[in-house]
């Protein structure tokens, strides 16, 4: 039985903690408010994960730190670097492995499926921040100071998922109301299950083949927003979705009143053309398979915001 420190109690962090305890491990779950599941094997700790000294103390004796945390979307530029840096520092000080839950922002705009071999070419502030942290982590790994790996996921769906789709489309579809989506409704898009991302995190954290490289979370075949909404409605027994494309002026107007919405335009390239994640390397290396979207969507009514 090993001790794992999981930072962040969003949909993926909570599922990761549950999977690890189901496997007989102990989990120390670190969030600002001490959030997380009340179950045997999970020790919930209220702490600021950007405090490297405090996190180091909490990580002593841990086999691995798994970083599933992210600050509120509109505060990334200010708060993400010290948060991620503190987790990396704690791993180096304690000798624990470092596993990062990452996204696809650092690739920038890509024509064709994204694989782990792609060079990082961010075209957004958030992408640059993500790329810089991964590069710092890899440099520490290559210098022999820490073992690092990452699991990169596309937009989340499933239990506890928070993404543009879950925030904008899911509530409207389940309520039988019209949803306006800020992007192409018919462009194929990859959607990652929170459970599949968590399963990948648990797997790479315990397999020496993972270290020093990024891995893509097992992700089902890409489908458009329109098709995903139809699958959701069918799964939930809701009426046929009523969808429309959100005009640019409406997104701009919304940003005047909502700090989170104001952050969306810089990543809108992801929804204007096909956005495809290739997870075949992870699937073949570790024997992991993506959960069918029809199964993942059964958890969407239980959607809840990420916690930290």
Q: Which of the four pLDDT bands, split at 50, 70 and 90, describes residue 22? A: very high
- Is the model's pLDDT at 105 over the cut of 90? yes
pLDDT at 75: 86
First to last CA, the chain: 26
- Least confident stretch, 41-45, 93-97, 208-212, 267-271: 267-271
Alpha carbon distance 159, 298 (integer Å):
8
Going by C-alpha positions, the residue among 19, 163, 29, 31 that lies closest to residue 104 is 163
Tokens of 300: 């969407």
Residue 34 lies in a domain: yes
C-alpha 62, offset from chain centre: 22
pLDDT at 66: 98
Alpha carbon distance 214, 201 (integer Å):
11
Residue 46 lies in a domain: yes
pLDDT at 276: 98
Going by C-alpha positions, the residue among 80, 96, 7 that lies closest to residue 44 is 7
pLDDT in tens, 263-305: 677 888 999 999 999 999 999 999 999 999 999 998 775 433 3
pLDDT in tens, 183-204: 999 999 999 999 999 999 999 9
Question: Domains in the chain: how many in total?
Answer: 1
pLDDT at 76: 84
Residue 165 lies in a domain: no
Pairing between β-strand 148-152 and β-strand 155-157 as defined by DSSP bridges: unpaired
pLDDT at 304: 37
Query: Can you tell me the mean pLDDT for 229-254?
Result: 86
Question: What pTM value is reported for the model?
Answer: 0.94
Tokens 């987790």 map to which residue? Answer: 87
pLDDT at 257: 64
pLDDT at 248: 73
pLDDT at 254: 67
pLDDT at 305: 36
Residue 10 lies in a domain: yes
Tokens 């090993």 map to which residue? Answer: 2
Residue 111 lies in a domain: yes
Distances in Å between the alpha carbon of 235 and those of 41, 137, 172? 33, 41, 15
What residues have CB less than 8 Å from 152, skipping those under 6 apart? 102, 103, 104, 116, 214, 215, 216, 217, 277
Distances in Å between the alpha carbon of 126 and those of 70, 75, 98, 105? 11, 10, 21, 7
pLDDT at 253: 59
Q: What is the DSSP string of 243-259?
A: EEEPPHHHHHHHHHH-H
Going by C-alpha positions, the residue among 175, 191, 255 that lies closest to residue 223 is 191
pLDDT in tens, 106-127: 999 999 999 999 999 999 999 9
pLDDT at 77: 87
- Is the model's pLDDT at 307 over the cut of 70? no
Angle at 304 between CA 221 and CA 28, to 5 degrees: 95
* Mean pLDDT value across the chain: 92
Structural domain harbouring 37: 3-156+192-220+277-285
Alpha carbon distance 308, 289 (integer Å):
28
Q: In the chain, count H helices and then E strands.
A: 12, 11
pLDDT in tens, 146-182: 999 999 999 999 999 989 999 899 999 999 999 999 9
Collapse the DSSP code of 1 into the 3-class scheme (helix H, G, I; strand E, B; otherwise coil) and give the result.
Answer: coil
Distances in Å between the alpha carbon of 108 and those of 2, 46, 230? 37, 34, 29
Q: What percent of the chain has pLDDT over 90?
A: 83
Residue 97 lies in a domain: yes
Q: What is the CATH number of the domain that holds 58?
A: 3.40.50.720
Angle at 165 between CA 160 and CA 167, to 5 degrees: 65
Residue 93 lies in a domain: yes
- Is the model's pLDDT at 53 over the cut of 90? yes
Residue 297 lies in a domain: no
């Amino acid at each position: 039985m090993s001790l794992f420190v999981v930072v962040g109690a969003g949909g993926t962090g909570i599922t990761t903690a549950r999977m690890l305890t189901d496997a007989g491990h102990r989990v120390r779950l670190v969030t600002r408010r001490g959030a997380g599941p009340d179950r045997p094997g999970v020790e919930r700790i209220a702490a600021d994960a950007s405090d490297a000294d405090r996190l180091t103390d909490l990580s002593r004796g841990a086999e691995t730190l798994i970083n599933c945390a992210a600050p509120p979307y509109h505060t990334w530029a200010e708060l993400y670097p010290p948060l991620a840096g503190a987790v990396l520092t704690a791993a180096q000080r304690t000798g624990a492995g470092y596993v990062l839950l990452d996204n696809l922002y650092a690739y920038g705009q890509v024509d064709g499926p994204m694989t782990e071999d792609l060079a990082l070419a961010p075209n957004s502030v958030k992408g640059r921040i993500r790329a810089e942290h991964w590069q710092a982590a890899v440099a520490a790994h290559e210098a022999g100071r820490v073992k690092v790996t990452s699991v990169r996921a596309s937009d989340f769906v499933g239990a506890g998922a928070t993404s543009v789709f879950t925030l904008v489309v899911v509530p409207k579809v389940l309520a039988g109301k019209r949803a306006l989506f800020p992007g192409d409704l018919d462009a194929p898009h990859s959607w990652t299950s929170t459970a599949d991302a968590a399963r990948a995190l648990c797997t790479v954290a315990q397999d020496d083949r993972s270290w020093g490289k990024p891995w893509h979370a097992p992700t089902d075949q890409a489908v458009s927003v329109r098709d995903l909404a139809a699958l959701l409605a069918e799964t939930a027994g809701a009426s046929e979705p009523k969808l429309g494309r959100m005009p640019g002026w409406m997104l701009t107007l919304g940003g005047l009143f909502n700090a989170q919405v104001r952050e969306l335009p810089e990543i809108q390239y992801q929804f204007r053309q096909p956005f495809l994640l290739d997870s075949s390397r992870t699937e073949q290396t570790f024997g992991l398979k993506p959960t069918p979207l029809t199964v993942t969507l059964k958890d969407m009514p239980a959607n809840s915001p990420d916690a930290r």
